[in-house]
Structure 1
Amino acid sequence: MSRGKLTVLAAALVGCAGLATVTVATPATASAPMAPAGAADFTGYQLVKLPNANVPNFARRTLRCPAGKQVVSGGAEAQGNGAILVGSFPTDDGTGWIGIGRQIGYNDVGISVFAICANVT
């Protein structure tokens, strides 16, 4: 993972409730964010991707974390001429991420979804 991607990832994780510090390291030694006493503990960090696929405008593409993990952040991308990302948000149960888009002048749009998943205790 490039340093630029790690910086973006660190910025995304800082927005998580209860996190005070984010430790960014090389992928071989990457560690979970540090949390203050009494806050959630994150282990088993994993970036999960749902590659681009064309779906009807406004259709939801849902990405699920591996069993036992919760989503701690995520995002989506709309691809195509005139593509617009309409929604990017976690699932109600906190185990995945949803991406929704539309493409002006077309009946479908390319949507990719990304989630940062971890064991949360």
Structure 2
Amino acid sequence: MPSKKIATLALAGTVTVTCLATIGAAHAQSSGAAQPSQARQAPAGYQIVKLPNANVPNFQRRTVYCPSGKQVIGGGAEAQGNDAILVGSFPTDDGRGWIGLGRQKAYSSVGISVYAICAS
């Protein structure tokens, strides 16, 4: 029986060492990812344009445009109200602005604000 006990202890020791090595390797990899990265610069002419909240009929589009000479590179919208649901948030077909629309289940109007991220 002593050989079975020794084999069991050896196996347990091997499993423990393997687990500790795996944890150590994972920690080393994750701490490497925490290194500070170089700061990214904003694109030339970067600007956020906001169309403030206004109540509009359900499903009515609200559109905000970038200033002249700039294109939209992103955007978003927010639906505000007790039952507000944002139905759509997408760029204009010409790439110069952003559209937002929404609705409320129990009301005929909804508050919509729209944001466009613009660059030269």
Q: TM-score range by the shorter chain?
A: 0.5 to 0.7
- Say whether 1:69 aligns with 2:73: no
1:1-121 map, 5 Å? 23=40, 31-32=41-42, 42-119=43-120
Higher strand share: 1
Higher helix share: 2
Partners of 1:76 and 1:105 in 2: CA distance = 21
How far did residue 71 of structure 1 move?
A: 0.2
Query: Of the two, which has the highest radius of gyration?
Result: 2
SS at match of 2:106: coil
Letter in 1 for 2:109: D
Letter in 2 for 1:86: V
Letter in 2 for 1:114: Y
How far did residue 104 of structure 1 move?
A: 1.1
Partners of 2:87 and 2:95 in 1: CA distance = 20
Give aligned-pair identity as a percent.
Answer: 73
How far did residue 77 of structure 1 move?
A: 0.2
Distance 1:22 1:58, change over 3 A: farther
How far did residue 85 of structure 1 move?
A: 0.1
SS at match of 1:43: coil
The TM-score with structure 2 as length reference comes to: 0.66
| Aligned-residue RMSD, C-alpha | 1.3
Q: Which runs of 5+ in 1 are unaligned?
A: 1-20, 24-30, 33-41
The TM-score with structure 1 as length reference comes to: 0.66
Q: Which runs of 5+ in 2 are unaligned?
A: 1-37
How far did residue 22 of structure 1 move?
A: 7.0
Letter in 2 for 1:77: E
Q: How many residues align?
A: 83
